[in-house]
Amino acid sequence: MPTAHHAAWLVWAVITAIVCVMGVRMRGTPKGARFDRLIGLTLALGYVVVNIYWFSPPNLAWDDSLPIQLCDLAALCAPLAILTRRRPLRVLLYFWGFGLSTQGFFTPTVAPDPTLGKFWMHWINHGAVVGGAVYDLVVCRYRPTWRDWRFAIIASLLYVALIFGLDIATGWNYAYVGNATPEQKTLVDVLGPWPLRVLWIVLIAGGAMTALMLPWTIARRLKLRGTNQ
Residue 46: its pLDDT value, please?
A: 97
Predicted local confidence at residue 66, as pLDDT: 97
130/12 Cα distance (integer angstroms) = 9
pLDDT in tens, 150-162: 999 999 999 999 9
Half-sphere exposure at residue 116, Cβ-oriented, CA atoms within 13 angstroms? 14
Please state the three-class secondary structure of the chain as a single string.
CCHHHHHHHHHHHHHHHHHHHHHHHHCCCHHHHHHHHHHHHHHHHHHHHHHHHHHCCCCCCCCCCCCCCHHHHHHHHHHHHHHHCCHHHHHHHHHHHHHHHCHHHHCCCCCCCCCCHHHHHHHHHHHHHHHHHHHHHHCCCCCCCHHHHHHHHHHHHHHHHHHHHHHHHHCCCHHHCCCCCCCCCCHHHHCCCCCHHHHHHHHHHHHHHHHCCHHHHHHHHHHHHHHHC
In this predicted structure, what is the pLDDT of residue 184? 76
pLDDT of residue 2: 62
Positions of the chain with pLDDT under 50: none
What pLDDT is attached to residue 229? Answer: 60
Q: pLDDT, tens digit, for every residue of 82-96?
A: 999 999 999 999 999
Residue 74: name the closest of 39, 99, 49 by CA: 99
Contact status, residue 187 vs residue 204, Cβ threshold 8 Å:
yes
